[in-house]
């Protein structure tokens, strides 16, 4: 790889474009499939697919930004604006935690990544479930928030299971993306 390619990969414009696309994708996946949860007036969604994909492929800070802002925007657009501040913080921290545990994938074999991704999924799930349990308890009471916990665990599982093949496909199709870890 020559210096021009490396400079383009790490340019601020490319980083902003990547963050923008991942934020929009997170908002879309969060907005497109919504399964309402009656006790909390929240909903389950597929936004976690993009949050984990961003964490596994681009790193903790990309996942922090795309996960937090993307889900908060989806909440506002879809009429769940009361959850937007909680989504901003909780999904942002979910992406940050998963990204830190997953680490850089640039020079790591897929067999070793699986263990890291499992740890990242556990960290992200713990942060997201605890965050929504606490946020929901403040908004609607602990009992109602507790009802949402199994759905949040399932949402994270679906997110990880969707993110892994997407991440592997990007690793094969566009290896320079792995150098954009941030």
CATH code where residue 112 lies: 1.10.1760.20
Structure tokens at 36: 């309402």
Domain count, the chain: 1
Q: Tell me if residue 100 falls in helix, strand or coil.
A: helix
Tens of pLDDT, residue by residue over 33-48, are: 888 877 777 788 999 9
What is residue 5's predicted lDDT score, i.e. its pLDDT?
Answer: 52
State the residue range of the domain holding 8: 3-180
Would you state the structure tokens that stand for residue 176, as one six-digit string? 């320079």
- DSSP labels for 24-37? HHHHHHHHHS-EEE
Mean pLDDT of 86-110: 88
Confidence of residue 7 (pLDDT cuts 50, 70, 90): very low
Angle between helices 84-102 and 110-140 (to 10 degrees): 160
How do residues 23-34 score in pLDDT, each as one tens digit? 999 999 999 988
């Amino acid at each position: 790889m020559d210096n021009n390619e490396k400079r383009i990969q790490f340019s601020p414009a490319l980083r902003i474009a990547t963050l923008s696309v991942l934020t929009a994708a997170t908002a879309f996946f969060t907005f497109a499939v919504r399964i309402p949860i009656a006790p909390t007036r929240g909903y389950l969604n597929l936004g976690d697919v993009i949050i984990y994909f961003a964490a596994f492929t681009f790193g903790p800070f990309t996942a922090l930004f795309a996960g937090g802002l993307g889900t908060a925007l989806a909440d506002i657009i879809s009429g769940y604006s009361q959850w937007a501040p909680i989504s901003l913080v909780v999904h942002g921290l979910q992406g940050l935690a998963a990204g830190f545990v997953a680490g850089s994938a640039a020079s790591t074999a897929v067999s070793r990544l699986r263990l890291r991704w499992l740890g990242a999924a556990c960290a992200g799930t713990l942060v997201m479930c605890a965050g929504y349990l606490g946020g929901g308890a403040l908004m609607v009471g602990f009992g109602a928030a507790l009802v949402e916990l199994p759905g949040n665990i399932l949402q994270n599982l679906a997110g990880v299971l969707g993110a892994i093949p997407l991440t592997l496909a990007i690793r094969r199709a566009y290896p320079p993306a792995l150098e954009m870890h941030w």
